[in-house]
Amino acid sequence: MKKRLNHTESLSTIGQLAASIAHEIRNPMTSLKGFTQLLQQTTNEDGKRYLAVINEEIKRMEEILTEFLEVSKPTNNEFEYIELKELLLEVVNFMAPQALLKNIEVSTSLQTECTCKVLGDRNLIKQVFMNSIKNAIEAMPKGGNIYITVSCTEKKDVCIEIRDQGQGIEAAQLDKIFDPFFTTKSGGTGLGLSHSSQVIKSHGGTIEVESKVEVGTSFKFILPLQK
Ligand code: ADP
Ligand code: MG
């Protein structure tokens, strides 16, 4: 099953508003946490169980807020020339040890004859690949391989493929994976791919996904090459 992403609106005024609301919600949540701790000391056994549930839910809200604030963080919007292969190696060196702990090996195949320079926001592009590798790791609870390939297509674009041997994505869900808050994970936020799609769009690129349930998934990030 293959899908080409129809990019949606970028994080604009609404996104910025949401980010400031997320920020505002944090303070009352800290106070809620404080009071549940106080209640713990005065309540009976039933009450303690209910409070444990409340605490878990508060923790979950905090995780969502943290990730949301992370992805909506304003960047300086300064585009620079990025040597993609170098940046990918940095990302892989950072992620490979975490993968190895889960019995996952990350291998890279970086086309040598091309320099693969793109114009972009270094941190944002880095986040896109880190998120994608993180998703690949999470899709392989029993371990496996992640293959990262960089290739220049017709000397016009550069394609970075991140392929895993994970659980795959059902056809019916392929349409939804880029929606904010769409997640199939119990601890997921569903913000990674929606952020990635905005980043790639703002860099003039596209994302393609191909997936087969129980076989694996391939994400292709296609960005315009700079000469
Ligand atoms: P999260 O990781 O918090 O769930 P994402 O936006 O990163 O949010 O991903 C959204 C959903 O897309 C995931 O919950 C999962 O269902 C699906 N997905 C993304 N990448 C992969 C992958 N490599 N393999 C299988 N499913 C994936
Ligand atoms: Mg994710």
Give the pLDDT score at 9: 41
Alpha carbons 184 and 125: distance in angstroms, whole number: 24
Give the pLDDT score at 11: 46
Pair of tokens at residue 76: 């300086």
> What's the CA-to-centroid distance between 126 and ligand 1, angstroms?
17
Give the pLDDT score at 49: 94
Nearest CA to ligand 1 atom 7: 192
Return per-residue pLDDT of the chain as tens, 227 residues.
655 544 344 445 666 777 788 888 888 999 999 999 999 999 999 999 999 999 989 988 888 888 777 777 666 667 899 999 999 999 999 999 889 999 999 999 987 677 789 999 998 999 999 999 999 999 999 999 999 999 886 678 999 999 999 999 999 999 999 998 899 998 888 989 999 999 999 999 999 999 999 999 999 999 999 87
Pair of tokens at residue 216: 């694996």
Going by C-beta distance under 8 Å and a sequence separation of 6 or more, which residues neighbour residue 203?
118, 119, 120, 121, 124, 125, 223, 224
Q: Which atom of ligand 1 is nearest the CA belonging to 191?
A: 6
What is the best residue among 177, 196, 199, 217 to mutate for testing ligand 1's pocket, by most ligand atoms within 8 Å of CB?
177
DSSP secondary structure code for residue 164 in this structure: E
Give the pLDDT score at 7: 38
Nearest CA to ligand 1 atom 19: 135
Q: What pTM value is reported for the model?
A: 0.80
DSSP secondary structure code for residue 59 in this structure: H
Going by C-beta distance under 8 Å and a sequence separation of 6 or more, which residues neighbour residue 144?
103, 104, 105, 164, 165, 166, 216
Alpha carbons 225 and 115: distance in angstroms, whole number: 9
Residues near ligand 1 with C-beta < 6 Å? 131, 135-136, 139, 164, 166-169, 177, 182-185, 188-194, 217
Q: How far apart are the first and last CA of the chain?
A: 34
Which ligand is nearest to the Cα of residue 136, counting in written order? 1
DSSP secondary structure code for residue 45 in this structure: H
Give the pLDDT score at 223: 95
How does 155-182 read in b/e, with b if 16+ C-beta sit within 10 Å?
Answer: eebbbbbbbbbbbbbeeeebeebbebeb
Give the pLDDT score at 181: 87
Nearest CA to ligand 1 atom 14: 183
